[in-house]
Amino acid sequence: MPDIIRSFLKDIPPSLTRLREAVQAGEWAEAQRLVHFIRPNLEALAVAGTAPPLAALEHLGSGGPNPVGPTTEAVDQLAAAVRAVLAPLSAELPAS
C-alpha cells in the first residue's frame, strides 16, 4: 500500500492541475484522458467526495456539450477532496 500512496501523492495533484488547464482550454479529449487516469487512483484509496464530480466529468469528449463552468466546479470538488487527504496519506507512509 505504501507504493500506491506514494504514487498517488506524486501523480494526482499535478494531474488535477493539468485537468483544470485542459478544461479551461476546452481540450476535452485531454480532460477525458486525465479523468480516466485519476479515477482508479481515487477509487483505490476510497477518497471521499469524489464520486459526484467524477460522474459529472465522465461525459467529457463524448461529443456532447461541455460547459466550462460546471465542469470547472467538478474539478474544484475533486481537487478539494484530494487536498483533504494529502496530509493523512503522507502520515501513513513509513519514515524514510
* pLDDT of 8: 95
pLDDT digits (tens, 9 = 90+) for 7-60: 999 999 999 999 999 999 989 889 999 999 999 999 999 999 999 999 988 877
Question: DSSP code of 24?
Answer: H
Radius of gyration in angstroms for the set of CA atoms belonging to the chain, rounded to a whole number = 14
Report how far Cα 25 is from the mean position of its chain's Cα atoms. 17
User: What is the signed CA dihedral for 44, 93, 11, 64, rounded to 10 degrees?
Assistant: 30
Nearest-angstrom CA–CA distance, 8 and 15: 10
1 versus 7: which is more confidently predicted? 7
Nearest-angstrom CA–CA distance, 70 and 90: 31
